[in-house]
Amino acid sequence: QAHAAAPAQHQQCPSSTPVALRQDAAGAEGACRLPVDDEAGPLPLSWSPWTHRPDCIYARSGAGTKYCAFSNSRHGARGVSIVTTPETAADVLGMLDQHVGTTEPLPDNSTTGRERERQRQAAFRIVDVPGKGKGVVAARRIAQHDEVMLDYAALLVDMAFATDVPAWTGYRVLHTAAAQLADPASVLGLGQSSGQAADPLENVLRTNAFHTILGGQPHMALYPLVSVRFRLWNVLALVRTSSQLERYADIVSVSNQRINHACKPNSYTRFIPQSIQVSVGAARDIEAGEEITISYITLGQTSAERHKALQQWGFNCTCALCTAGTEAVAASDARRRQVDALRGQAVEAFRRRKPYEALRLTRQVLGLLPAEELFPLYSEQYENMARIYWVLQDMERAEENARLSLDVLARQGYIDSVTPGHLDMLWRQFERERTEEQ
């Protein structure tokens, strides 16, 4: 209620991006969305654009903090449900507006949306992959940086919800959120690699959720197509009710489309906060029939480090690199250790004001990256080259490398295109770093 009374021109919505930086209409007008909860009126209009009346519970502690299930069953392909506070829900409406507007046609209902979806679908198909269950393979050739798939978040849950709410009612709200999706099976049918938690939906979250910031707050998010395991320690301490199990028993077995892990993945994921989507892009050209893979863990680790990291996630990796012969694995490990060491040495040399040494070391790193297919590191290394040339006042080479760095980001979709504005931002950043160092 507090922000309803504030003068419109000075308003800043509670936890969201400052008004000046917001692209959505509500932000531009300086008007904050009013939080709605279960006390909103009985008519759909009162809780619009949510398609269901919010189902809310109070947190165990805290001055009347409420969490509710907010659903719009028409968002994206299968609806979206967000279990969060009314304030966060109000904040994220700006993001969802592009897709949840009650008068605007939804992208997936429009001809172009359907066509785009059809083309995307045509890029991959789901097959059985020996030793890994289901997997995703390219149905046609996919060029480097082309989008392989684009997925909407289906279920988002505030991280604090898990520990803040009483278990039984917590499960109720969670299951209400899932049931209100246009396609509840897309979430409830996701794999559960552990039966550790009492509730099946909790296991699904533990197995598949991405960490996503929403309205400034950490949330777990399920993107059913992309769905990647994400370890959540002690997040949900909730219990199952047998009636919920019965209700879902017939849909929990539905199979889903998901991407397996590889230690030299051919694809990468990118979060699109404006629409709460995840996009999967090709890190290199992918041939028809090749399995689409992403990395579940930090890229560039050695076999022992990867084994340890993946053990925590509950499986032994059988990707091409891990099952290559002992010699190939040892050679890869040696290169990875070298990349790691050289990156550190280059930074250290630069810090000690030895730019030519830093240049030599960075060039060596760049030379090792293709063999290990560590694509995300290209942008960072080209930026370092630009930084060194900038210090050496060789602006021609600085710009050349800055463009290479930005070009990688543009091809990954992080920026629309490389503009002089982006170059200026880099120069300003280098300038700031120099001032801070002095």
Ligand X SMILES: C[S@@+](CC[C@H](N)C(=O)[O-])C[C@H]1O[C@@H](n2cnc3c(N)ncnc32)[C@H](O)[C@@H]1O
Residues lying near ligand X in the complex (CB under 6 A): 131-135, 191, 193, 208, 227-229, 258, 260-262, 314-315, 317-319
Q: Which is nearer to ligand X, 131 or 344 (CB)?
A: 131
CB of 130 to ligand X, least distance (A): 10
CB of 286 to ligand X, least distance (A): 16
Q: Which is nearer to ligand X, 320 or 330 (CB)?
A: 320
CB of 80 to ligand X, least distance (A): 20
Q: Which is nearer to ligand X, 190 or 358 (CB)?
A: 190
CB of 173 to ligand X, least distance (A): 25
Chain residue whose CB lies nearest ligand X: 133
CB of 223 to ligand X, least distance (A): 11
Q: Which is nearer to ligand X, 133 or 273 (CB)?
A: 133
Q: Which is nearer to ligand X, 208 or 269 (CB)?
A: 208
Q: Which is nearer to ligand X, 98 or 318 (CB)?
A: 318
Q: Which is nearer to ligand X, 109 or 253 (CB)?
A: 253
Q: Helix/strand/coil (H, E, C) string of the chain? A: CHHHHCCHHHCCCCCCCCHHHCCCHHHHCCCCCCCCCCCCCCCHHHHCCCCCCCEEEECCCCCCCEEEEEEECCCCCCCEEEEECHHHHHHHHHHHHHHHCCCCCCCCCCHHHHHHHHHHHHHEEEEEECCCEEEEEECCCECCCCEEEEEECCEEEEHHHHHHCCHHHHHHHHHHHHHCCCCCHHHHCCCCCCCCCCCHHHHHHHHHCEEEEECCEEEEEECCCCCCCCCCCCCCCCCCCHHHHHHHCCCCCCCCCCCEECCCCCEEEEEECCCCEEEEEECCCECCCCECEECCCCCCCCHHHHHHHHHHCCCCCCCCCCCCCHHHHHHHHHHHHHHHHHHHHHHHHHHCCCHHHHHHHHHHHHHHHHHHCCCHHHHHHHHHHHHHHHHCCCHHHHHHHHHHHHHHHHHCCCCCCCCHHHHHHHHHHHHHHHHHHC
CB of 132 to ligand X, least distance (A): 4
Q: Which is nearer to ligand X, 12 or 193 (CB)?
A: 193
Q: Which is nearer to ligand X, 318 or 345 (CB)?
A: 318
CB of 27 to ligand X, least distance (A): 35
Structure-token match 């039966």, residue found? 195
Alpha-carbon gap, residue 366 to 327, rounded angstroms: 23
CB of 226 to ligand X, least distance (A): 9
CB of 294 to ligand X, least distance (A): 9
